[in-house]
Structure 1
Amino acid sequence: MSTQIQVKNPKTMAAILMLGAFIGLFGETALNMALTNVMEQFSIKEATAQWLTTGYLLTLAILVPISALLMKWFSTRQLVIGGLVISMAGAILAAFSPNFAILETGRIVQAMGTGIIMPVMVSVLLVIFPIHKRGVVMGIMGLVITLGPALGPTLSGVIISTLGWNYIFWISAAFYILLTLAAVAKIVNVGEITKPKIDVLSIVLSTVGFGGLIYGLASMAGAPFTAPIVWVPLLAGMIALLLFGFRQNSMDKPMVNLAVFKQPMFTLGTAMMFLSILVILSTGILLPMYLKGSLLFSAAAAGLILLPGNAVNVIMSPIVGTLFEKIGPKKLAIAGSLIVLIGNIIFVASISATTPAWQIILAFMVLFFGLTMVTIPAQTNGLNALPRELYGDGSAAMNTLNQVAGAAGTAIAITLLTAGQTSFAAGAPDAVQTEILAAGVKYTFYFVTGISVIALILSLFMKKPNAVQEKSPSALKATEPVHEK
């Protein structure tokens, strides 16, 4: 039995949702290549500038779990169009920004729109395509999720060198306008509005929990762990998340149904996605700073150096989606995790102030070759373990933790980069800044390599789940709005 809901233009709907999510995820790291420009223009330091990325991820982490509730209160059309309009408003505000505060505000508003679109995309794709096509569809979606933040520094490098960093947002805003018009014409409703009671305490606990956790991690970039600005929000966040978990398990209709984590393969897939996104966002903020600040490439040249790795991602995603259907998730995940580990070892071995560009290109290509083979099986296999009624909750849970991973990766990378630079400078007082920065980046890649070892171990336990979703009723018709008013 199928859980597919038939719509007139499933591919068009998927394209609108994926492009909307892609621009939002591109926005996560688009300013990484421009951080040195922004720091100079607004006279701010690294620890402050990294909030342009961390603040974006913080907003996503707060909003995505609430999206599971939004999907039960608003129609698919309302959420998609609303998310695109909010994102557009944030991009325009950021493009106009005369100071850091306005720029950060624009980033947060844009992230709010992305936080709505992302979970809706996952839930809709799971029901408008039949299960036998899910591997390919989720492969393309996996491409969107990994390529967006990965391609951010590459595209923005070219934009910064030719037009200026403000045009990152003007171009994004133009795409949002076109996608909004397309959404008005083509998006149909495929969800079920149940309008459950809004539990304010759950929203508060979720916001304090994820917000506190990410704020504390991000603050580590500019303060020691013993500083109250670090440990107080971390402690508050962990306590709030524990209370949030107890609260959800005690409710008849929870805001996010944590029963999704009773499915071992969903939990494993989410953990592997968490580690993969952590690696992607860590390298996404480290490499632009290294290429520009240590190897002294221009923004455009640095972006082009990262392009082959992104090209590998584009080429491999549909291939991995097809292989997923043929050979299953385990072999792909193990091979991919091993390749990711090799890519990180190459980085650790080669990074210096005089590294040839081809070595960075090679390491980045190897890294993304492996990451594509990990993220697609992990996400698809994890969501396939859930029954249809838990797709929204599973999507919200997985996407929330992805944003936490991104924020943690960004914050930890900057923290370790700073610590590595300080340690190297103390031992080599005559070292120049390019050598100090390279040493900090190398130091941080030891951590990233350790993360890839953990992912490899987890991949050994992956297996296909039972087809629980096939117990649901047969395909529903939804060429007109279904279940929604």
Structure 2
Amino acid sequence: MNTATAAAGPQYKDLGDIKRLPILISLVIGAFFSILNETLLNIAFRDLMIELQVTASTIQWLSTGYLLVVGILIPVSALLVQWFTTRQMFLGAMVLFALGTLVCGIAPGFPVLLIGRLIQAFSTGLMLPVMMNTILILYPPEKRGAAMGSMGLVIMFAPAIGPTLAGLILDSMSWRWLFFMVLPFAIFAIVFAAIYLKNVSEVTKPKVDVLSIILSTLGFGGIVFGFSSAGEGHGGWSSPQVYLSLTVGIISLLLFIWRQLVSKEPMLDMRAFKSPMFSLTTVMLIIVMMSLFSTMLLLPLFLQGALLMTAFTAGLILLPGGALNGLLSPVTGKLFDKFGPRALVIPGSAILVVVMWLFTRISLDTSTGTLIALHSAMMIAISMIMMPAQTNGLNQLPRKYYPHGTAILNTLQQVSGAIGVAFFISIMSSGQRDYLAGSSNPNAPAEMAGALNAGVHSAFSVGLVFAVVGLILSLFIKRTSAPQE
């Protein structure tokens, strides 16, 4: 039985007596702590460098390796969700997450800590596609906005509170408690899902294309690794580690796309791009993610490096925006169900352009209140764009493309995130160098702060360009409906 055969029938599964809410709660609990883990550790890097006696470039692998595994695994998840049931995929992901969390908590040194992080990354790589694919099956198109909004609360709120929560824990406890405090919740999620989570997907067991898996791993992995290496300062873009990784990644990705187009049972079906709104959504979300990452990356650096705030204080400044984004995601989901995407995505894109322009005007004299207001406005704009646009694009897909569509969007968001980190760090560093080149005393603290301010301005200016392109694309978005099969 292949994916085409499995696609026959209604757009969402007839659940009978199965209740949707417990399934949704199971997904929310598991995904929240899995995604929270992405940003929980970043603020502890300085403590980890001292205790584990490693350099900054080495400790960055706790983040880069995590992103690398997620970027590699998500494309394969389109195949896995057709080989294993919803319960098997979700429980397997949560067990891996609990195991990885335990390994990190008891790690005697950096290598074991890295292994634990990579195990956690396997969990996240499985979790995101399962979560979105299950919602597409559970809910008809006219009710998906609210359900996807609940997922938006998790996806955006969890990483937003990560730095603040981590700073609070590190103020009085060891970095190991970043893992020990999460572990009981991971175990609870496993028990809750074992009781309430029901199977909603169909196991079709399509043919496993080993070559596609290899090309996908080399393609997405090479691109993520190359851009991440460039952003970490390994000689910049001229480093062989960077350009060879990118070359291998791009060639492998082109071969992967070609193989998917000619295969009768593709691992990641590129025919999903035949749906015009899905294609538009994909490009738009990549651009918005690039713009978002410019702020998520640059603003904490500006707060700590130029304004000399502690990590905990910087986290507190970013908390209101993250909280607003999470709380508004279910609201924008319901508004999407009622009014469609244009009423949200176009105004949200316009707000994002204004906010990004204002970010290019910040200086060392900008007040804390202004920074909180700008960040909060940006996160409100993101909540108006991300989930409505994503849901609208996925709604146009035939059911047989659900696993492929969710895997494509999740993969490209992870890859664009990695590219965004490297891209904007490079722009910021270039701006800093140009500023210091004209300074008479480049080692003075005031000049260093001024250089960082100049670098951040340069990066935000490029982020503004991305936001403008996103606004132009938003003008072409229109409400979709599920095709009849």
- The corresponding residue for 2:417 is 406
Deviation, structure 1 residue 315 = 3.0
| 2:182 counterpart SS class | helix
Give the whole-Å Cα distance in 1 for the aligned partners of 2:252 and 2:71. 14
Query: Which amino acid counterpart does residue 358 of structure 1 have in structure 2?
Result: G
Shift of 1:47: 4.3
Contact 2:154 2:326 in 1 (8 A): no
Cα–Cα, structure 1 residues 142 and 42, in superposed 2: closer, same or farther, change >3 Å?
A: same
Tell me whether 1:300 sits opposite 2:315 in the alignment: no
Q: Name the residue aligned to 2:401.
A: 390
1:5 lines up with 2:20 in the alignment: no
Normalising by structure 2, what TM-score? Answer: 0.91
**Higher mean C-alpha displacement, 451-460 vs 437-446:** 437-446
What is residue 379 of structure 1 aligned with on the other side? 390
Once residues 141 and 79 of structure 1 are traced to their aligned partners in structure 2, the CA distance between those partners, rounded to angstroms, is: 18
Counterpart residue number, 1:239: 251
Q: Distance in 2 between matches of 1:174 and 1:348?
A: 43
Match in the other structure for 2:285? 273
Identify which range, 413-422 or 130-139, moves more after superposition: 413-422
Two-structure CA RMSD over aligned residues (Å): 2.0
Matches within 5 A, 1:146-165: 146-165=156-175
2:431 corresponds to 1:443: no
Structure 2: distance between partners of 1:441 and 1:104: 30
Tell me the TM-score normalized by structure 1.
0.91
The offset of 1:409, in angstroms, is 1.7
Q: Which amino acid aligns with 2:429?
A: T
Residues 33 and 288, structure 1, Cα contact 8 Å, conserved in 2: no
Give yes or no for the alignment of 1:367 onto 2:382: no
1:164 to 1:363, Cα distance in 2 relative to 1, 3 A: farther
Counterpart Cα distance in 1 of 2:371 and 2:55: 26
**2:274 is the counterpart of 1:262:** yes
Q: Please list the CA deviations of residues 275-325 of structure 1 after superposition, one character each: whole Å capped at 9, or x if unmatched.
A: 233333343333333323332222322211111101221332122112112
Deviation at 1:146, TM superposition (A): 2.2
Q: What stretches of structure 2 of length at least 5 have no aligned partner?
A: 1-9
Does residue 285 of structure 1 match 2:300? Answer: no
User: Cα distance, 1:131 vs. partner?
Assistant: 2.7
2:3 corresponds in structure 1 to none
Higher relative contact order (CA 8 A, sep 6+): 1
Pairwise CA distance, 1:441: 2.7
Q: Render the CA deviation track for 1:367-421: whole Å, top value 9, x for unaligned.
A: 1010011101111101101011211111111111111112112222333333333
Q: Whole-Å Cα distance in 2 between the matches of residues 342 and 41 of structure 1?
A: 43
Once superposed, which parts of structure 1, at least 4 consecutive aligned residues long, lie more than 6 Å away?
Answer: none
- Change over 3 Å in CA distance of 1:292–1:5 after alignment to 2: farther
After superposition, give the CA deviation of every residue in 1:24-62 in whole Å (9 maximum; x if it has no partner): 222222223233333444455554443322221111110
Correspondence 1:48-197 to 2 at 5 A: 48-197=58-207
Q: Deviations over 1:405-464 (max 9, x none)?
A: 121122223333333332222222344143333333333222222221221111111111
The farther-off stretch of 51-60 and 374-383 is 51-60
How many residue pairs are counted as aligned between the two chains? 469
Question: Greater shift after overlay, 99-108 or 243-252?
Answer: 99-108
Structure 1 residue 317 corresponds to structure 2 residue 317: no
Amino acid at match of 1:451: F
The AA in structure 2 aligned to 1:256 is: L
SS of equivalent to 1:467: coil
Deviates more, 1:386-395 or 1:266-275: 266-275
| Letter of the structure 1 residue corresponding to residue 172 of structure 2 | T
Larger displacement relative to structure 2 (310-319 or 226-235): 310-319
Post-superposition offset of 1:266: 0.6
Q: Indicate conservation of the 8 Å contact 2:153/2:327, yes or no.
A: no
2 CA distance for matches of 1:45 and 1:384? 46
CA deviations 1:2-24 (Å, max 9, x no partner) are 62432523111112212222222
* Cross-structure match for 1:483: none
Q: CA deviation at 1:365?
A: 0.5
> Is the contact between residue 277 and residue 396 of structure 2 (CA under 8 Å) also seen in structure 1?
yes
Cα displacement (A) at 1:73: 1.1
Match of 1:203 among 186, 203, 213: 213
Residue 389 of structure 2 aligns to which amino acid in structure 1?
Answer: A
